[in-house]
Structures are given as structure tokens and as C-alpha cells.
Amino acid sequence: MPDTKKALPILFAVMFLVMVGFGIIIPVLPFYAENVGASPTQLGFLMAVYSLMQLIFAPMWGRISDRIGRKPVIMIGIFGLSVSFFLMGFSSQLWMLFAARIIGGFLSSANMPTVMAYVADITTPEDRGKGMGMVGAAVGLGFVFGPAIGGIFSKISLSMPFYIAGTSSFITFFLVFLLLQESLAKKNRNEVHSEKASLWQVFRGSLSILFILQLFISLSLSGLEATFAYYAAKKAGLGTVTLGYLFMIMGLAGAIVQGGLVGIMTKKYGEGVVIQIGIIVSAIGFGLILLVHSFMTAAIFLTIFGIGNGVIRPSISALLTKKSTSGHGSATGLLSSFDSLGRIAGPPLGGWLFSVAIGLPYISGIILSIVALILYQMYTLKSKKSASIN
């Protein structure tokens, strides 16, 4: 078993570098796709196909990591990400970009569930929230710094950010190969008899409610991300540079909370309390966003939302890996899948609601948060009921 104190910083560095690489291409991809002839609709499909691959294949990789170990699956995911970035950099036609995104989505869907399963392997139940929070913080910081780096290097050429992202991922691959020890002992690796059972075994009883809860959280967040630029421009006259700063502030706040506060709070109060607090703070954040009228109000209200939203996913991950008996990889893989489903459905839903009335995506965010809170109460009641029967 790897030393937790040594392994967690390595995992933090790995996920940070992976997400920096991912974030680098965000500001460049729309212009790059346009250069090879993509229409706005085709660009939408190009963005969605990656999440679709994650939705389909994350549970598969999680399950594979339960059988063969975490380290080889993490290495496959990072290597796949590196290859896809280089392929995008070389793309001169739209079909090549689609092929690169499909390959990248298929292979890199191994990263998040397997890293979370690794954290579950090496942490005690009491420290699980802290470990998951550190992974969440690394992801958040990667998204903060990645787009900024991509924006800077896109001035050299539009393909340069893809090569930098590919190189960053390749370095991360060697970092994992050289420094990360396997966390799953051979005697603990699951032998899965049936594909269907292995995939949906974790989706049973009260735990199924937690996956649906994550779907609603992801749906509301991605709806906000897809529409806030238009909303802030109309309500407060904010431009693209200012919006970049806003999302950077929100990302930093979320990362700081995930890296520090989640571990302390889950250890003291338990994951359930933290999930409920996160949902309530998110709902308040959605409500406050309706009152945005300047850069300062947008920064404060988005930060409140980011703090609330930031504590939910690590706490759900920690709770699931504690309660599930189907292997940590299977649980985190299916959770990633539900998260991806929310990210696929959220932007078009948010865009449609925005076209009806500009405040609707945030009103729907409040409603989805209330539904998520009710779902958590249902989970608690169902868990108590099954515990009393057993």
C-alpha cells in the first residue's frame, strides 16, 4: 500500500497537469475548428462528443481498474489524452478533429474515476473527504490556469496550445510511471463474472439516489457555465476578458475550499451534512446571480455559488466509496458517467431556457438544487430503512 502522505501530492500534481492540458485548448478549439470549416452546430457536436465518450466509457475503465489495478489504467488515460492533443494539433480537416476528440474522450475517461478510486484505496473512511477534495482542487486549479496558458500561446499559432497540452500530458504519463505506486493489492482485485452485473451492481438500493443527485448538480452547473457569458454581458456589460477573470476567481475559490475545507468538514460533520450545506449554498448562489449588476457583484455571487458547488462532488465521491461494496472503480466510474450526462444535457437546456428568459437558467438552478436536497433526504430515509431491515 502506498504512503498516503506521498501518494496524495503526486495524484494532485497528476490531475493538475491533466486538467491544465485539458484547459489549454478551451479558448482555442472554437477558432481552430472554424479554421477547418466547422459550423457553430458542428462545433457543438465536437464539444459534446468528448463528454459522450466519457459518459459511455468511464464506468468501463472504473471496472477495469478494479480488476487489473489503478496505475496501468491511469497511464492509459493520460497517454490517450496526450495522443489526442497531438492529433488535434495535426488536424487539417474536420473529420480529423472529430477522430481526435473521440479517441481522447474514450481513453481519457479512464482518468477521473480511476484517480478517485486510487484515493479511496489509500485513505481511511475518516480522511476520504480530504483526499477527494484534493483531487477536486487539482481539477479546479487546472481549469483556472489551463485556459490562461492556452490564450497566451494561441498568439504564436492556433495549433501551438495543442502541442503544449500534448507535451504536458506526456510528461504527466512519465510522472505516473516513475513515481506512483499501485494502490490496489492483487488479493483485493475483483473478479467480475458478468458485464451487466459489474456495471450496474453499484447502482442498487439507496446508493442509486446519490448518482441521480450528482446528475442534477452537474446539470445545473453546466447550464450556468453555458449561459453566464451572455447573461453577464446583458446585465452588467461585461466582456470576454472580464468574464475570464470571473471564472478564474470562481475556480480559485472552489479549489481552495475543496483542498482545505472539505476534508475538515467531512471529518467533523460527515459527508451528508457537507453535501446538504453545499446544495443550500449553491441554491443561494443561483438566487444571488439574478441580482448581478456589476463586475464586483458578479465576482462575489459566482464565488458563493462556486464554494457551494465545489464541496458537493468530493463529498458524494467519498460517501459512495464508503458505502459501495462493488469496488471503488465501479462506483467512481458510474459517478463520472452521471456527471458527464449532466454536462451533455446542461448546456443545450440552459441555452434554451436563456432564450425564453435570461434569468431562467438560474431559477431552474434553484429548483434543481431543491430537488437535489429532497433526493438526499430520500437517500437518508432509504439507508436507515435498509439498515433497520438488515
Q: By percentage, how much of the chain surpasses pLDDT 90?
A: 55
Is residue 199 over pLDDT 70? no
Give me the mean pLDDT over the 134-139 stretch.
Answer: 91
Pick the CATH number of 1-182 from 1.20.1250.20, 3.40.50.970, 3.40.50.2300, 2.40.50.1020: 1.20.1250.20
Compute φ and ψ for 248, nearest 5 degrees. Answer: -65, -45
Cβ–Cβ under 8 Å, residues 377 and 210: no
pLDDT band, residue 195 (cuts 50/70/90): very low
pLDDT value at position 301?
A: 95
Give me the mean pLDDT over the 340-369 stretch.
Answer: 93
Give me the mean pLDDT over the 226-249 stretch.
Answer: 85
Identify the three-state secondary structure at position 92: coil
pLDDT band, residue 248 (cuts 50/70/90): confident
pLDDT value at position 19?
A: 86
pLDDT band, residue 38 (cuts 50/70/90): confident
Give me the mean pLDDT over the 125-146 stretch.
Answer: 90
pLDDT value at position 201?
A: 65
Identify the three-state secondary structure at position 28: coil
Residue ranges of the chain assigned to CATH 1.20.1250.20: 1-182, 203-390
Is residue 191 over pLDDT 60? no
How far is 232 from 177, CA to CA, in rounded Å? 44
Is residue 203 over pLDDT 90? no
pLDDT value at position 274?
A: 96
pLDDT value at position 299?
A: 94
Indicate the fold that domain 203-390 takes in CATH.
Growth Hormone; Chain: A; (1.20.1250)
pTM exceeds cut of 0.85: yes
Locate all alpha helices (DSSP H) within the chain, ordered by sequence. Answer: 4-24, 29-35, 40-68, 70-90, 94-108, 111-122, 128-153, 160-179, 195-200, 207-236, 240-256, 262-269, 271-289, 295-323, 328-356, 360-389
Q: How far lies 21's CA from each of 141, 267, 335, in Å?
A: 12, 32, 23
pLDDT value at position 148?
A: 82
Q: What angle do CA 298, 300, 305 make, to 5 degrees?
A: 90
